[in-house]
Structure 1
């Protein structure tokens, strides 16, 4: 059984997730900031990182990326539509802040969606545009959870008032890729608290059945 650990970092209070195998191998999701603290956290738990997976490449999700991949010598995976975002402060929106961010190109591109085997991990990658064009979620069916990025939050959904965002796409992504999951699924969002899908289906005012 997999475990999920979370650490909240940076001024945007972004959630970094580590998905942990019983042998201490881990996948890192969205290392947004405070790379030194993330390294202390990971090394302090004797975890063994194998890859960094991005839900999307906005600045608050990539600030610690290069430092972690260089320290652990591991590859980065992003969706093809955001393959240029890491390097480009305009695309990753850091040009809108006081600290433009430019990271190296990803080693791997998600070009096709579906089931993936990465080391000892098995999961599904689903394209969920709306908040950003190449946003993806990662589904771990056997353990009934999703790393859902900025698609859905507890009681809310991702922003679509940003460049390259689209509200209709976001709602379609939620309808097709979130609402079709078993209600027992735990959603691990990019900001705020993890939430059970059943709770969001019942009370999230932004979900299609509440519109």
Structure 2
């Protein structure tokens, strides 16, 4: 018998909210109890409830459980984008390249940003995503090896770390920032632009239930334009 999916749990919980089985303000059972009822992993339940919370149906607070909202609230839903899909949507051929890989201890700035303890092992990857023959995005990625020890032996020569992470672990908290930067000598070589050229960059940090997962700095080729829709 096929195991139940998070989509099925999400649909079932939504229906119970709509028909009044779970009333307004009512606290839902604990995730582990719901998982036992459905015969699935707790992570499957967690994803279903997180998505319902993102849609404004549930309210989730750490250490105080999950409740049905007293009143619906519209929220922007954020999905981690895949650069492969961005490039293919432009009608370009996607190509991925791993530039460097190193296992080290998290530097001080990363410990501060990700709320890491001292001497935490991390995996540092620099990757280049191409659109056709031209560089499209430079991905400078740090993965917490305490949260994801499997990353030590993962093969990132053919699949980028972003795709690997999306398939491996969900996120419960995300912090994003966008800013302008200018190309230094290294970015000039990697993105085939002149030193000093203005570039667009994004930074994203993610956590899962309080555990730091990854930080990434993404620098796009000159002239990049970002469009979002909610």
Fold equivalence (TM over 0.5): no
With the length of structure 1 as denominator, give the TM-score of the two structures. Answer: 0.22
**Greater fraction helix:** 2
